[in-house]
Amino acid sequence: MGIADFKIAGTLQASLGYDATHSQVLDLQLESTSVTDGARVQFSIITHSKDAPDVVFDPPSGIPTTPTGIVTCTMPASGAHTWDLQCQVDEGRDSLGRVDSGYTKRRAVAIRSTLFQFRKWLPGETTQYSARSWSDEQNLWVDALEVAFAGTFAGAFLLDAATVPSELPSAKAIRALVATLAFLGQEVTPASFTRRDAAATSAEGLALKRTVTGAAAGAVGQALELAFYLTDAGAGSPRRTGRIRSEWISAVALAPQAKTVISVLGVDGEHDYWSIDNAGNVVLLTPSGARTLLAEGTATGFTVGAAQRSGNGANAGVPVTYTSGRGQQQSGGNNNNNSGAVALRSATPGTGGGGTAGTPGDAIIGVGASDQIVVKGDGTQTVFSSRVLVFPAYTVAQLNGGNPDPTTNLNGVVICSDQTGGRGLCTSNGSTWVSDRTGATVA
């Protein structure tokens, strides 16, 4: 033990390096309490890492009021730096005036980097921080970068500054916020994460978390977004092209409800287009103009329907309902708005070729596996199945006009029972109906 061995914030000389925090006030004091009152003790900075600011001693001279007294040392409020701190007794000489290494001792004080918790080295560093010199710190850099680029962890990998995966050197607490590193801009795979678990288990492989400043409560509308950027053909700077957003609908502590929204950059700006709400509804949003649900590249067809109920049981299938939008709400004496139309139609044929023009596809209404009504796309006919079509029963007076629609006569062709009791086409001359098959007056 040397007479100049000293404590930093209560830690002994044998500890060598000390990791401080921003604005921390350190107590510096000799370990020995047997130094004579006539001894001269002084604390000072010998050297420091590049661009490190000065620390503040109190007293400014670094000399305690008594040899075993305390000198304080205040760290700066920002930055990652390292200082070579020296304690010297009687200018490093023994009572005979000879230079004695026990009368001069040095220790390193460091403020580590926020992201990776790295420490900057001192010029000509030897054993001020570690008995193995700066090599331990260099080894830490190698291990940390290897993990950051490979990213294989036994536990969950959380983008959380307070969480350190168990495979990282716990003593150095390397932070896992690799998403802000400059190397992500390079044409390499920035990170690959593998989670090892037993078979037939599931777990979070990657989690994004948001907390509120000051541990305050969450609120409606608070959201966490995963954004995507691509470089456009203009100035070459990245532009946001879309987002996936998770948002609170209700932040009630015991019954929270959220929704997920997908937004995309389109010709008229970025809009929210898809939403899955708290009831499980998938909503196609229409921020401007009508939107179309398209299935692209499905050569075998595209079906919208409800899935079959799972398991065995007596439940009927899930009904499927297609509805148009309700008319907008009105107030006062204004007429109420109509709802939207429901249109089931095939599309127009493709164009651009020099051959025979295409025709629209058929419009089909079916029951089970059978087609019941087929409206031919080429316009030739409308085909009904062998099933009987049932129309309302009308009297002759109703068919000739008046009811059910007083504005039109139903003069034309109808299907009715003829004199033989069979069904056939009948034609009206405005007053009577004649069977087209027998020529007899039916009614």
Closest CA to 13 of 28, 31, 25: 31
Return d(Cα 139, Cα 153) in angstroms, integer: 19
Per the structure block, which two tokens stand in for 353?
A: 């070729």
Closest CA to 419 of 399, 392, 394, 437: 437
Mean pLDDT of 141-148: 76
pLDDT at 168 over 50: no
The mean per-residue pLDDT over the stretch 196-215 comes to 78
pLDDT of the residue at 154: 42
Could you give the domains of the chain? 6-132 (2.60.40), 134-208 (no CATH), 221-288 (no CATH), 385-443 (no CATH)
Residue 163 reports pLDDT greater than 50: no
Lowest-confidence pick of 125-139, 169-183, 346-360:
169-183
User: pLDDT category, 361, cuts 50, 70, 90?
Assistant: confident
Q: If pLDDT is split at 50, 70 and 90, which confidence band does 45 have?
A: very high
Task: Reply yes or no on whether the pLDDT at 19 is more than 90.
Answer: yes
Q: Point out which residues pair with 106 in neighbouring strands.
A: 86
> Is the distance from CB of 112 to CB of 82 less than 8 angstroms?
no
Q: What is the 3-state secondary structure (H, E, C) of 29-61?
A: EECCCCCCCCCCEEEEEEEECCCCCCCEEECCC
**For 110-127, what is the mean pLDDT?**
91
User: Of 24-38, 159-173, 311-325, 420-434, where does the model show the most confidence?
Assistant: 24-38
**160 pLDDT above the threshold of 50:** no
46: nearest Cα among 62, 65, 66, 69: 62
Query: Tens digit of pLDDT for each residue in 257-306?
Result: 899 989 888 877 888 888 888 888 888 776 666 667 676 655 667 777 77
Write down the residue that tokens 């288990």 correspond to. 201
Which residues lie closer than 8 Å to 383 by C-beta, 6 or more apart?
A: 371, 373, 374, 376
Return the pLDDT at 313: 86
Predicted local distance difference test score (pLDDT) of residue 396 = 58
**CA dihedral in degrees (406, 410, 411, 416; nearest 10)?**
-140
CB 355 within 8 A of CB 373: no
pTM, rounded to two decimals: 0.43
Question: What's the pLDDT score for residue 104?
Answer: 96
Predicted confidence band of residue 244 (pLDDT cuts 50, 70, 90) = very high
Phi, psi values for residue 329, rounded to 5°: -65, 145
Q: How many other C-beta atoms are found inside a 10 Å radius of the C-beta of residue 18?
A: 19
Check if the beta carbon of residue 41 is closer than 8 Å to that of residue 6. no
> Could you tell me the pLDDT band of residue 422, with boundaries at 50, 70 and 90?
low
Sheet holding 382-384: strands in order across?
363-367, 370-375, 382-384
Regarding predicted confidence, which is higher, 331 or 109?
A: 109
Low-confidence winner among 171-180, 190-199, 343-352 (lowest mean pLDDT) = 171-180
pLDDT of residue 315: 84
Over residues 56-80, the mean pLDDT reads 96
pLDDT band at 433 (very low <50, low <70, confident <90, very high): confident
Instruction: Tell which residue, 162, 159, 137, has the closest CA to residue 148.
Output: 159
